[in-house]
């Protein structure tokens, strides 16, 4: 084990976000592009003892097999990777792909304890094999439906018993469990259950494993988290805020499944009420438009009331590339989680999430200030 070499173990390692993160880290190391979109490259984070991009080593779990060069080509065609970058980073993608192990299926055969042990062993082997000082596990797999409640979710010793008997956890929680058993930090970049069960919280604290989540804030919710203060600071009353999200490709298809969309919409809805201080009608609607591919377009319509009750309107359209927005944050989170002391949630990382764990602040400015204060402490 030498210096600050840090493993980034990506759950969903062959998906677009993971591939973009690995390709991007390689491109930045090669010095061909500036670190746009990478929060930890901002001057506020200068001088903090974070692992350098050169220190990051990638591996992960996935339930599918695909060729890294092919993935890079598809991302290039979709406009996620600039032309020329794929050729430059293909060796890094191949190296990372060689560190990918088979993931956990939702319908894997019982009992789950064997699965968790195998996942944890994959992570530990990766660490040992690459002489890494630490490994952080980041879930960038597809969004799961909400978890079916189970009594054993409340307590680690009960859960340990149940895992030995059958199926009690969704895949995202198996990964969180494996990460903690391997003594690694865990980040949930999706709205899936992940570490958000009392039993897994106990385990994390016990093993000294930090965790953060949930659901990366990369688009419509990000806009909300700055825009809301316009209304609250100026005493303008928001009467309705209706959001429509057109999502393409993988994420869109996945969220077209009503159950999963429910998980996503719930994680988005809470934000607005917290930001504005009162419930507001309108809702968030997610529609799948295959043709948009890696891109998403959000349209929000805000009806508000000013002096003497005059009604006014604001609308915005956000046309973003999902993987390009998420990937640098994956690198940021892996780097920043290295700064955590001890086990349990790290509320100061709430800046990155739609549904921050352990904290109620959703305003981006306040979240950023808390993050910098924590990182520089």
Within residues 15-74, the interface with a second copy by CB under 8 A covers 20, 23-24, 27, 33, 35-39, 41-42
- The least CB distance from residue 272 to a second copy, in Å, is 14
Note whether 252 binds a second copy by CB under 8 A: no
- The least CB distance from residue 143 to a second copy, in Å, is 20
Alpha-carbon gap, residue 58 to 100, rounded angstroms: 9
- Ranges of H-type helices in the chain: 16-29, 68-77, 85-98, 113-129, 156-163, 171-181, 198-207, 220-233, 249-256, 258-276, 322-337, 364-375
Stretch that binds a second copy, among 153-161, 177-185, 195-203, 300-308 (CB under 8 A): 300-308
Q: Which is nearer to a second copy, 184 or 246 (CB)?
A: 246
Alpha-carbon gap, residue 132 to 293, rounded angstroms: 36
Interface residues for a second copy in 69-128 (CB under 8 A)? 76-77, 79-83, 85
Q: Which is nearer to a second copy, 111 or 363 (CB)?
A: 363
Note whether 227 binds a second copy by CB under 8 A: yes
Burial of 108 (0-12, 13-18, 19+ CB in 10 A): middle
Q: Which of 10, 13, 115, 223 binds a second copy (CB under 8 A)?
A: 223
Task: Tell me whether the omega of the peptide bond preceding residue 214 falls within 30 degrees of 0, making it cis.
Answer: yes
Helix axes 322-337, 16-29, angle to 10 degrees: 70
Interface residues for a second copy in 310-339 (CB under 8 A)? 310, 312-321, 324-325, 327-328
- The least CB distance from residue 199 to a second copy, in Å, is 34
- The least CB distance from residue 368 to a second copy, in Å, is 5
Q: Are 145 and 107 in contact (CB under 8 A)?
A: no
Note whether 359 binds a second copy by CB under 8 A: no
3-state secondary structure of 127: helix
Stretch that binds a second copy, among 7-15, 139-147, 164-172, 361-369 (CB under 8 A): 361-369
Q: What distances in angstroms separate CA 337 from CA 125, 128, 149, 162, one per listed residue?
A: 21, 20, 29, 30
Note whether 360 binds a second copy by CB under 8 A: no
Q: Which of 137, 176, 246, 265 binds a second copy (CB under 8 A)?
A: 246
Task: Tell me whether the omega of the peptide bond preceding residue 28 falls within 30 degrees of 0, making it cis.
Answer: no
Note whether 278 binds a second copy by CB under 8 A: no
Note whether 229 binds a second copy by CB under 8 A: yes
Stretch that binds a second copy, among 62-70, 182-190, 262-270, 308-316 (CB under 8 A): 308-316
Q: What distances in angstroms separate CA 218 from CA 20, 228, 327, 341, one per listed residue?
A: 15, 16, 10, 27
């Amino acid at each position: 084990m030498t210096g600050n070499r840090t493993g980034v173990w990506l759950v969903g390692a062959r998906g677009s976000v993971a591939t973009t993160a690995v390709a991007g880290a390689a491109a930045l190391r090669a010095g061909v592009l500036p670190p746009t979109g990478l929060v930890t490259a901002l001057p506020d984070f200068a001088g903090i003892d974070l692992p350098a991009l050169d220190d990051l080593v990638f591996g992960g779990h996935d339930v599918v097999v695909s060729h890294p060069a092919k993935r890079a080509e598809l991302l290039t065609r979709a406009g996620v990777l600039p032309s020329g970058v794929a050729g430059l980073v293909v060796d890094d993608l191949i190296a990372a792909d060689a560190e990918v192990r088979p993931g956990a299926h939702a319908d894997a055969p019982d009992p789950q304890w064997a699965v968790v042990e195998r996942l944890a062993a994959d992570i530990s082997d990766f660490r040992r094999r690459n002489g890494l000082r630490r490994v952080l596990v980041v879930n960038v797999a597809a969004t799961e439906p909400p978890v079916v409640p189970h009594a054993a979710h409340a307590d680690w010793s009960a859960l340990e018993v149940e895992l030995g008997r059958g199926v009690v956890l969704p895949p995202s929680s198996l990964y969180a469990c494996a990460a903690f058993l391997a003594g690694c930090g865990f980040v949930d970049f999706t709205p899936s259950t992940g570490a958000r069960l009392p039993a897994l919280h106990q385990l994390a604290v016990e093993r000294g494993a930090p965790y953060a989540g949930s659901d990366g804030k990369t688009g419509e919710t990000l806009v909300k988290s700055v825009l809301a203060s316009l209304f609250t600071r100026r005493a303008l009353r928001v009467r309705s805020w209706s959001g429509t999200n057109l999502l393409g490709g993988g994420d869109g298809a996945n969220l077209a499944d009503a159950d999963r969309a429910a998980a996503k919409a719930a994680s988005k809805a809470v934000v607005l009420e917290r930001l504005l201080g009162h419930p507001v009608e309108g809702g968030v609607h997610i529609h799948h438009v295959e043709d948009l591919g890696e891109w998403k377009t959000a349209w929000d319509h805000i009806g508000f009331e000013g002096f003497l009750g005059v009604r006014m309107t604001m609308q915005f359209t956000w046309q973003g590339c999902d993987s390009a927005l998420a990937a640098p944050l994956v690198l940021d989170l892996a780097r920043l989680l290295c700064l955590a002391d001890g086990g349990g949630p790290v509320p100061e990382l709430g800046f990155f999430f739609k549904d921050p764990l352990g904290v109620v602040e959703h305003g981006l400015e306040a979240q950023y200030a808390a993050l910098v204060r924590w990182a520089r402490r």
